[in-house]
Chain A
C-alpha cells in the first residue's frame, strides 16, 4: 500500500472521529480504497469507515492487505499532522508495520514514524449499506452537534421522534427536560443549513446519550449529517466526506418499554 493525502489533517480528523468509540481496528486495504469496521466494547455502536481512492492525492494498493492498529497509538503519531504537510501511508507486502511519512515541502522538513501492526481477530458483521429506513434526515452537522451537547447534559437517554411536524429531539431527565423541534427548510444562500426529511412512517426511538456524544466527534469531517431511522433497528448517523467516502455509526436503540 502507498497512499498519499495532500493534507495530513484529513487522516487525523478521520482517526479522531472514532478513536474514543473503539480501541482497535483492522483497515482493509484494496484497490478500491481503505475500509474498516469496528464495534465498541459494549457492542452497542458499530463504526463503518470508507476512504476511497478519491480522498488521496495518489493511491496504490497492489494486493488486498489488512492493517490492524491500536487507535490510541495511531492517534499519538497523528498529532504531528498539519494542513501544510502531506501524509503518505506505506505498508509492505508481508505487513508487520505501518510507515507514516509527513512531508512539508515549504519547510523542507519530513517526519517518519513506524508503527507495529497488531493482529486483531475482530468479527465482521454484515451491514447492508442500502438498509431500508422509514425516515431519512439530512441536516447541518453543526446544528446536530449543538443539540446533542445541549440536551445530553440533562439525561442519559436521548429521544428522536419524526412525524408530520418535523423532527423532535428530546430528553426527560430527573430534574429537567428539554425538547428541540426542527422543521424542513431550504437556505439557498447557505445550503449547509438545509434540513430535509423523507418519511414513510413516523418513528420514536431512544438512544443512550453517551454514544451520541462520541458520534458527534466525527462532525469535523462534514458540514452535513445524514440520519436514518427505522423502528426497532439501529439508527445510522453518517458523515460523508467532500471527496467521497465517510464514516457511519450504527447505534442500537434502547428498548421501548
Chain B
C-alpha cells in the first residue's frame, strides 16, 4: 500500500 503523506508537509504553521 502507498504511504500516507501528512498535512503539515503542505501548510505552514501560522
- Indicate whether A252 sits within 8 Å of B3 (C-beta atoms), given known contacts A123-B13, A125-B13, A126-B14: no
Tell whether, in the assembled complex, residue A257 and residue B2 are in contact, meaning their CB atoms are under 8 Å apart: yes
Q: Residues 1-14 of chain B: 1 if any A CB is under 8 Å from the residue's CB, otherwise 0?
A: 11111111111111
Query: What CA separation (Å) do A162 and B6 show in the bound complex?
Result: 23
Asked if B11 and A254 sit within 8 Å, CB to CB, the answer is: no
**A 215-257 to B, binary, CB cutoff 8 A, 1 in contact else 0:** 0000000000000000001100000000000000010111111
Q: Which residues of A contact B10 (CB under 8 A)?
A: 233-234, 250, 252
Pairwise interchain contact A256-B13, C-beta atoms closer than 8 A: no
- Nearest-neighbor residue (CB-CB) of B6 within chain A: A43
How distant is the Cα of A252 from the Cα of B8 in the complex, in angstroms?
9
CB <8 Å contact, B7 and A252: yes
Question: Which residues of chain A are within 8 angstroms of B6 by Cβ–Cβ distance?
Answer: 42-44, 252
Q: Is the CB of B11 within 8 A of A46?
A: yes
Task: Please count how many residues in chain A sit with their CB below 8 Å of the partner chain's CB atoms.
Answer: 24
Distance of A147 Cα from B1 Cα, bound (Å):
21
- Please determine whether B3 and A125 come into contact, CB atoms closer than 8 angstroms: no
Q: Would B1 and A157 count as touching, CB distance under 8 A?
A: yes
**A85–chain B nearest beta-carbon distance, Å:** 36
Task: Specify which chain A residues have a CB less than 8 angstroms from the CB of B7 in the assembled complex.
Answer: 39, 43-46, 125, 234, 250, 252
Chain A interface residues toward B at CB < 8 A: 39, 42-46, 123-127, 156-157, 206, 208, 233-234, 250, 252-257
10 example contacts (A-B, Cβ-Cβ < 8 A) are as follows A43-B8, A44-B5, A123-B13, A125-B7, A125-B14, A127-B11, A234-B7, A252-B5, A253-B5, A255-B4
Q: Besides the contacts A127-B11, A250-B11, A254-B1, what 8 more A-B pairs have beta carbons closer than 8 Å?
A: A44-B4, A44-B6, A125-B12, A250-B10, A252-B6, A252-B10, A254-B2, A257-B2
